[in-house]
């Protein structure tokens, strides 16, 4: 997943840039006196944000007034480019704020967010709904065929005009007023939804006092739970949480079924416990407000509004892909459930597999069928080795190199910063990496940036990228040892990072990861393919104690088990994708409770009781407090692209520089300068086909 979810939701940041001016002692309002102009994290305090945001809004309004008061007829430079470069101060401050709100929040920031979000929403609408400003944009747009613009300029003009229209500029005054009210309400509701999930995630702790209750758990999980207990002043006990690095090993290995159920229920009931953090009413309001917003703009559903601007174009197209995959995936998942239930019976137990049993018995079955369990692999996936392996891989592919710079200001001590150099030794980007869970960080993993690449006055401004994850922490003398899933997540987020680092262009709003939601996952998902290839494993999979390369027989076991549990993995994802589309394809208001709606939708598609959607409604942050509403399908859409694209590397060589250069120049560098399918076909020479994905997942 890419970018902070808070940043994605704030369309007000459409007009952006970085160029600070001096303003008293607020570090957010003075030119950053830091290496490479990174934010002065060591000087920024929560109380700086609100006055800085207000000052940024004032300056942005003045810049808009300058455009409006220009006596010359509207043209590309004095209107479209001027808009693109306006709001630089506001964007810079907002970027820092919302990145911190997701990666290192606190009660002060959460309180400020409640004031800032409606301010930004109102400000964005004031710009987007300004009739005089829209007239200038439209005056340029209607002349587009006569302006002799280059490809990038033409795309900027197209996107600027389209964003004004989709932002309500063509509405009458009464509808504009309601449109603005809806945006302000949604900004606060999505904020509250995310805060509720974070609070519920942090609040639950499974405290174990009896060592016998740890039966089956690997020592690494036990040690981490002991350390968590010590940090919570519960020495001599063990604490497990619903953060993934704690949750997943417990569900995979803990022998005590009743404890697995307790932890699982705590995880799946977040935001749905009928308490002050309950998200059900918030979900209804968000869904209904987004439907009303879409209706105001002339769309039958919010999904229709969203997908018009994506590769899929229509809900029908997205549904077709999901349904084409659902039938074979569900068939495989049902067979997997039969196998797990058979294992339960072989062990002399008399119960049917429940969701809290699946990972436990799947791990047992993997050991039985392939003589492999995840704990055999983790000693070879030391975090630092995986990181160095990724560095080596991208050096082989693209020639880039990394140099740690521990003198850059950091927003948290865990963050590590690097200078990134291109193959010609020029400085390409800066990148922060922040690996471990904490209560101030929301769950999941994402790529974001503190500055996007752009050019102004002919000078390139390099990007500042950030990768934020929640990986297994070091414990005692044991370093951070990643699971296979965490390794793939690291490769995934680094792919997003490459998309941001390699971006080229004059205009940040159409560069880097600012592409359609169902295209943005291609650069990240294709990177996952390299993570378990034998030639790549040889670069980084070294035992943390002996430094020996992962044995060939273990690699073969990993390869043999590659199709194992793919039915479960695909079905839980597809169920969540279909749930998302179902909410936002509604053409009538949601009247029933989200629980009733979700149950009905899952029954409709025939989801088996042993599996729940990857994200249930009450903690589905992607679509209720992030940028993936009506767009969660995009991961599987991009999976079709990435499976097809990786075939080019398999045909020409995993480290083939010519293929890598073609992928870099056609996909990674171009951002949204051209249509996504045009860029893909330029790389691949043809449109993608679905067969490589079906084969990879064992669904064909």
* Catalytic center residues: 493
Measured CA distances, 406 to 96, 414, 421, 503 (Å): 20, 11, 16, 25
| Residues 421, 422, 427, 433, CA torsion sign | negative
Q: What is the 3-state secondary structure (H, E, C) of 437-482?
A: CCCCCCCCCEEEEEECCEEECCEEECCEEEEECCCCCCECCECCEC
In this structure, what is the dihedral angle of CA atoms 419, 425, 429, 432, given to the nearest 10 degrees?
Answer: -20
Contact of 122 with 52, CB cutoff 8 Å = no
Q: Tokens 């392996």 — which residue? A: 389
Alpha carbon 69 to its chain's center: 40
Q: How far apart are CA 486 and CA 496, in angstroms?
A: 15
Q: How far apart are CA 670 and CA 287, in angstroms?
A: 34
Residues 6 or more apart in contact with residue 587 via CB below 8 angstroms: 291, 300, 301
Spatial CA neighbour of 512 closest among 383, 284, 671:
671
Contact of 453 with 463, CB cutoff 8 Å = yes
- As given in the structure block, the two tokens for residue 89 are 């101060």
The residues pairing with 175 across neighbouring beta strands, listed in sequence order, are none
DSSP 8-state assignment for residue 585: T
Angle between helices 315-346 and 634-652 (to 10 degrees): 80
If DSSP codes are grouped into helix, strand and coil, which group holds residue 465? strand
310 φψ region: left (φ > 0), alpha (ψ -120 to 50), beta (else): beta
Centre a 10 Å sphere on the Cβ of residue 164 and count the other Cβ atoms it contains: 22
Contact of 86 with 60, CB cutoff 8 Å = yes
337 exposed, middle or buried (CB, 10 Å; 0-12, 13-18, 19+)? buried
């Amino acid at each position: 997943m890419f970018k902070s979810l808070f940043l994605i939701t704030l369309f007000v940041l459409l007009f952006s840039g970085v160029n600070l001016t001096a303003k008293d002692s607020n570090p957010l309002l003075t030119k950053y006196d830091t290496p490479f102009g990174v934010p002065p994290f060591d000087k920024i305090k929560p109380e700086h944000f609100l006055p800085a945001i207000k000052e940024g809004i004032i300056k942005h309004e003045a810049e808009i007034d300058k455009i409006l008061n220009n006596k010359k007829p509207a043209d590309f430079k004095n209107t479209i480019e001027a808009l693109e470069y306006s709001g630089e101060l506001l964007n810079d401050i907002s970027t820092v704020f919302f990145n911190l709100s997701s990666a290192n929040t606190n009660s002060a920031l959460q309180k400020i967010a409640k004031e800032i979000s409606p301010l930004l929403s109102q400000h964005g609408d004031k710009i987007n709904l300004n009739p005089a400003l829209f007239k200038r944009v439209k005056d340029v747009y209607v002349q587009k065929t006569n302006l002799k613009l280059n490809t990038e300029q033409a795309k900027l003009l197209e996107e600027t005009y389209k964003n004004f229209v989709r932002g309500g500029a063509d509405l009458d005054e009464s509808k504009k007023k309601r449109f603005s009210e809806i945006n302000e309400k949604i900004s606060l509701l999505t904020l509250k939804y995310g805060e509720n999930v974070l609070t519920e995630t942090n609040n639950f702790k499974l405290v174990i006092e009896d060592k016998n209750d740890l039966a089956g758990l690997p020592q690494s999980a036990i040690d981490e739970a002991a350390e968590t207990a010590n940090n919570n002043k519960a020495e001599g006990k063990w604490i497990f949480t619903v953060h993934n690095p704690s949750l997943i090993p417990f569900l995979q290995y803990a022998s005590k079924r009743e404890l697995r159920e307790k932890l699982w229920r705590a995880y799946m009931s977040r935001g749905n416990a009928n308490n002050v953090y309950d998200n059900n009413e918030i979900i209804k309001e968000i869904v209904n407000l987004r439907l009303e917003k879409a209706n105001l703009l002339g769309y039958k559903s919010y999904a229709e509004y969203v997908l018009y601007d994506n590769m899929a174009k229509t809900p029908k197209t997205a549904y077709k892909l999901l349904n084409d995959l659902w039938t074979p995936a569900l068939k495989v998942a049902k067979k997997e459930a039969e196998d797990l239930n058979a294992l339960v019976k072989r062990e002399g137990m008399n119960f049917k597999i429940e969701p809290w049993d699946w990972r436990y018995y799947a791990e047992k079955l993997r050991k039985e069928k392939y003589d492999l369990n995840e704990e055999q692999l983790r000693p070879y996936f030391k975090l630092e080795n995986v990181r160095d392996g990724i560095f080596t891989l991208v050096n082989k592919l693209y020639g880039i190199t990394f140099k740690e710079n521990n003198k850059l200001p950091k927003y948290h001590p865990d963050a590590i910063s690097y200078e990134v150099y291109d193959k010609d030794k020029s400085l390409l980007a800066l990148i922060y990496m922040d690996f471990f869970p904490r209560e101030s960080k929301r769950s999941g993993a994402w790529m974001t940036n503190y500055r996007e690449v752009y050019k102004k006055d002919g000078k390139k401004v390099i990007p500042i990228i950030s990768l934020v994850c929640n990986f297994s922490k070091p414990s005692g003398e044991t370093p951070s040892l990643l699971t296979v899933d965490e390794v793939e997540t690291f490769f995934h987020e680094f792919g997003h990072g490459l998309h941001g680092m390699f971006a080229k262009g004059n205009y940040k709003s159409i560069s880097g990861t600012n592409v359609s939601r169902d295209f943005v996952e291609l650069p990240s998902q294709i990177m996952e393919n390299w993570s378990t290839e034998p030639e790549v494993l040889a670069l980084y999979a070294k035992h943390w104690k002996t430094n020996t390369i992962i044995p060939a027989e273990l690699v073969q076991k990993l390869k043999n088990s590659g199709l194992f549990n793919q039915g479960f993995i695909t079905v839980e994802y597809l169920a969540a994708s279909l749930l998302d589309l179902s909410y936002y394809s509604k053409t009538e208001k949601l009247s029933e409770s989200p629980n009733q709606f979700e149950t009905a939708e899952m029954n409709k598609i025939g989801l088996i009781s042993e599996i729940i959607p990857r994200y249930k409604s009450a903690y589905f942050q992607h679509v209720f407090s992030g940028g993936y509403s009506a767009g969660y399908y995009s991961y599987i859409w991009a999976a079709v692209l990435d499976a097809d694209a990786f075939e080019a590397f398999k045909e020409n060589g995993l480290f083939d520089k010519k293929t890598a250069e073609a992928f870099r120049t056609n996909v990674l560098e171009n951002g949204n300068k051209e249509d996504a399918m045009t860029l893909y076909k330029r790389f691949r020479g043809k449109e993608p086909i679905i067969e490589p994905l079906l084969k990879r997942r064992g669904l064909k």
